Amino acid sequence: MKLSKVYRSPNNNFQQVKETIKKGGVTADIRLPKCNFTPQPYSVVYFVNSGSEANELAILMARIFTKNYEIISLRNGYHGMSNLTMNVTAQSHYKYPTLQAIGTHHVVNPDVYKGLWGGSKCRDSPVQALRVCSCKGSECEAKDNYIKQFKELFDYSLPKKGAAAFIAESIQGVGGTVQYPKGYLKEAADIVRKHGGLFIADEVQTGFGRTGEHFWGFEMHGLVPDIVTMAKGIGNGFPLGAVVTTPTIANALTQAAHFNTFGGNPVSCAAGLATLEIIEDEKLQENSGNVGTYLLLQLEQLRSELPIIGDVRGKGLMIGVELVAGSGTNDALPVPKFMKFWDYCREQGLIVGRGGIHGNVLRIKPPMCVTKEDADFCVKVIKKASEKILLKEDSVYVGGV
């Protein structure tokens, strides 16, 4: 997480790539450890070069298989920047003024912090939203209300034949690490299947152990997707992505020729295989859970001290910190102040991402090998930056943390 530290495993994937190049290229046996998606018989993997390509192929496959055309996604979701995935993405910041694809529908985002419903009992996270929650026992009223909105899409917007697919991230990444009410994603997926469609799990950011408790983000929702897309973590920086599904669904692609020039190339696959081995051998999923929970709880404490922090959320090492204009409001911190905050963090050696529809969320997704010491450093820098914003200091702090 520190700018000055280079994270590289002793058994890093570059050595395996180097050996692959020396051999002139080999067919990599990329078995995807822990990809035991039972009871669903996932045994077909299509290799591509990015998450956008993976999602594009998954949508194509769903349309061909179901013979339906409509695609459903959540507002605030991000699924790529190709022409099709840009349309499935529901954030105007990532949409160019071109003809939007027909057959895409964006449903109300079940955001328990800023949405219409939700509160302090709704999400699967060590830290909950500071909202009064009307949920009772195991029943989540927020989930039920958002599901009603989801069902109305079929009543008013979709043809009676139904939909081809519903695609969703297990936790919204670019959208600001937004989590849904517990049970929402599973129930929404069941509704789509009853209307002839498939559920596509976009695991580009949540997959490969980042959330700690589970290797795959969809596991926290208690469901089994029809198609799973993945990238980013699969190759540790190399251009590699994949679409995983069943033979029955994959067989739909035999209706015409399909190929990908660089998909599954041996160099990227060697990097992917080495990455997967390191995740398992060095127990990086376990580390994500331990360090991520520790960091989340430290940030929760910071939220109670600093009114500039409106919400802390996430799971494992996929964390969001929403910065707001002040105590008692969830209005976004103005962009100039956020940029000053963000630049200060960078100057102090802390690199974090930026997300959310208003660009006011710190997206903390560090390498999965970070330590509690790194987490402490992160909290100290955020605290100091927050104090500078609150005190409206214009001078540049150069003393370090």
pLDDT in tens, 194-241: 999 999 999 999 999 999 999 999 999 999 999 999 999 999 989 999
Same domain, 223 and 299: no
Residue 7 lies in a domain: no
Cβ-contact 142, 122 below 8 angstroms: yes
Same domain, 69 and 204: yes
Same domain, 311 and 218: no
Residue 207 lies in a domain: yes
Q: What is the spatial distance between Cα 114 and Cα 125, in angstroms, rounded to a whole number?
A: 16
Cβ-contact 312, 127 below 8 angstroms: yes
Q: Residue 142: is its pLDDT beyond 80? A: yes
Residue 64 lies in a domain: yes
Residue 397 lies in a domain: no
Of the pLDDT bands very low, low, confident and very high (cuts 50, 70, 90), residue 389 is: confident
Q: Residue 242: is its pLDDT beyond 70? A: yes
pLDDT in tens, 307-364: 999 999 999 999 999 999 988 889 999 999 999 999 999 999 999 999 999 999 999 9
Of the pLDDT bands very low, low, confident and very high (cuts 50, 70, 90), residue 396 is: very low
Chain center to CA of 262? 25
Residue 3 lies in a domain: no
Q: How large is the average pLDDT for residues 272-294? A: 95
DSSP 20-87: HHHTT--------TT---TTS---EEEEESSHHHHHHHHHHHHHHHHS---EEEETT----SSHHHHH
Chain mean pLDDT for the chain: 88
Same domain, 219 and 341: no
Q: Residue 247: is its pLDDT beyond 50? A: yes
Residues contacting residue 321 through CB under 8 Å, at least 6 positions apart: 299, 309, 311, 312, 361, 362, 364, 382
361-364 β-sheet, strand order: 309-315, 318-323, 361-364, 353-355
pLDDT in tens, 99-109: 887 899 999 99
In this predicted structure, what is the pLDDT of residue 102? 87
In this predicted structure, what is the pLDDT of residue 133? 83
* Residue with more model confidence, 15 or 250: 250
Which CATH number does the domain housing residue 344 bear? 3.90.1150.10
Same domain, 181 and 324: no
Q: What is the spatial distance between Cα 350 and Cα 257, in angstroms, rounded to a whole number?
A: 47
Which CATH number does the domain housing residue 266 bear? 3.40.640.10
Q: How large is the average pLDDT for residues 254-272? A: 91
In this predicted structure, what is the pLDDT of residue 391? 64
Last residue of one domain, picked from the residues 281, 309, 328: 281
Same domain, 175 and 256: yes
Last residue of one domain, picked from the residues 281, 297, 316: 281
Same domain, 74 and 160: yes
Same domain, 273 and 288: no
Highest mean pLDDT among 125-134, 264-273, 365-374: 365-374
In this predicted structure, what is the pLDDT of residue 17? 55
* Assigned token pair, 95: 């949409």
Residues contacting residue 24 through CB under 8 Å, at least 6 positions apart: none
How many degrees, rounded to 5, is the angle at CA 362 between CA 379 and CA 9?
Answer: 70
In this predicted structure, what is the pLDDT of residue 107? 97
Same domain, 179 and 296: no
46: which strand partners? 243
Same domain, 232 and 378: no
In this predicted structure, what is the pLDDT of residue 13? 56
In this predicted structure, what is the pLDDT of residue 288? 98
Q: What is the spatial distance between Cα 62 and Cα 196, in angstroms, rounded to a whole number?
A: 10
Same domain, 90 and 238: yes
What is the number of structural domains in the chain?
A: 2
Same domain, 247 and 372: no
Last residue of one domain, picked from the residues 281, 316, 342: 281
Q: What is the spatial distance between Cα 57 and Cα 48, in angstroms, rounded to a whole number?
A: 9
Residue 248 lies in a domain: yes
In this predicted structure, what is the pLDDT of residue 328? 83
Residue 361 lies in a domain: yes
- What domain range includes position 320? 284-390
Residue 159 lies in a domain: yes
